[in-house]
Amino acid sequence: MIEQLDSLSAEFVGALESLNDEAAILKLKSEYLGKKGKVSEILKGLRNATADERKVIGPKANGLKEEINQLVATKLQKIELEVINKKLEKNKIDLSNRDELWLQKLNHGGVHPRTLIQREIEDVFLSMGFEVLDGPHIEDEFHNFEALNIPSDHPARDMQDTFWFHDPQSDEKEKKLLRTHTSTIQVRGMRERKPPFRFIAPGTVFRCERTDASHEMVFNQLEGMMVGKDISVGNLIYFMKTLLKEIFQKEVEVRLRPGFFPFVEPGFELDIQCLICKGKGCSVCKKTGWVELLPCGMVHPNVLKAGGIDPDEYNGFAFGLGLDRLVMMRYGIDDIRHLNSGDLRFNSQFQAY
């Protein structure tokens, strides 16, 4: 029996050698280890063996079983590896080669046009010595209104329909809100630095408004502020014109109208001629041919005071650029709602460059 077991082992190794597919290997295994397999058949003979013989044959047979299991496992692993390697070889891809067909078919992500323009504007202002600041979306009444010369009973609070909320976890009496303009960052910026200074602050703002082709509840502004000695409206106009020229890469028609904002005095509305309809009148410019783009003005003394700045010594200008409208003018987008739609067909038209 011992010899039989030895020769079975050699026979198995030989048979396994010639096989190369998983099913055949498993079949071979069961021919040896299955209930009616060759090893089992031999072990049946154990019944007639002496106790001494059993002591030797038992472990030997178990050893053979183990050996067969081990050989099968190793062989299967080897086959699997070969299959993987073959597949890898066949599907070899050169990622640096843009001509690869599948790479051409891939959907490329695009950078949102608002981000593209924001980056450009930041570059323009950085080159003119401005800092770029950020601020929180959730604000308090002080930063959104009071410090900007809009006390609680002031009718100007109604100009900006506000999303209010109250945190039930908080004992604070003070109500929180979603900032309605980036002017909140003006307040924070002023209180954190000493004049002279100049900064811009791009950011998302929120207003509880009915949406249409030119209004969204969630939109973006880019605030700017410059404070120093003897700053004039001339300085303000210079910076605004430089900005518009850089963005549109051409002179655009602008007009300055008086505008009321409690935090500036005098206040202006800087409009540009609608680039969608070239001034003829369309839904974006509400048929006027002009688009309000840049409310601005000289910072009100009360605002400087709230920012910890002495208005007798310093003055400055501020502006609040409507970023989304600028994007629409630049790319000829006729509905602001496209910008937040998350529609990939829209986004993918603007590639990063």
Interface residues with ligand PHE (CB under 6 A) are 181, 183, 221, 223, 261, 264, 267, 295-297, 318-320
Q: How far is the CB of 332 from ligand PHE (least distance, A)?
A: 24
Is the distance from CB of 217 to CB of 207 less than 8 angstroms?
yes
Q: How far is the CB of 345 from ligand PHE (least distance, A)?
A: 31
Using the minimum distance from each CB to ligand PHE, give the nearer residue, 9 or 340: 340
Q: How far is the CB of 295 from ligand PHE (least distance, A)?
A: 4
Using the minimum distance from each CB to ligand PHE, give the nearer residue, 189 or 297: 297
Return the structure tokens found at 308.
């910890």
Q: How far is the CB of 127 from ligand PHE (least distance, A)?
A: 22
Using the minimum distance from each CB to ligand PHE, give the nearer residue, 29 or 325: 325
Using the minimum distance from each CB to ligand PHE, give the nearer residue, 72 or 243: 243
Q: Which residue type is seen at 171?
A: D
Is the distance from CB of 295 to CB of 268 less than 8 angstroms?
yes
Is the distance from CB of 128 to CB of 232 less than 8 angstroms?
no
Using the minimum distance from each CB to ligand PHE, give the nearer residue, 130 or 261: 261
The long-range contacts involving 238-244, CB below 8 angstroms and separated by at least 24 positions, are 239/128, 239/317, 239/319, 240/270, 240/294, 240/296, 240/319, 242/124, 242/128, 243/121, 243/124, 243/125, 243/321, 244/272
Between β-strands 197-206 and 131-132, what pairing exists: parallel, antiparallel or unpaired? parallel
Using the minimum distance from each CB to ligand PHE, give the nearer residue, 31 or 292: 292
Return the structure tokens found at 255.
């007009």
Using the minimum distance from each CB to ligand PHE, give the nearer residue, 240 or 264: 264
Beta-sheet strand order (sheet of 164-165): 138-140, 176-178, 164-165
Q: How far is the CB of 84 from ligand PHE (least distance, A)?
A: 60
Q: How far is the CB of 246 from ligand PHE (least distance, A)?
A: 20
Which residues partner with 296 through β-bridges? Answer: 268, 319
Q: How far is the CB of 138 from ligand PHE (least distance, A)?
A: 17
Position with the least CB separation from ligand PHE: 320
Nearest-CA neighbor of 220 among 204, 209, 206, 208?
Answer: 204
The long-range contacts involving 7-14, CB below 8 angstroms and separated by at least 24 positions, are 8/32, 8/38, 8/39, 8/42, 8/64, 9/64, 9/67, 12/68, 12/71, 13/71
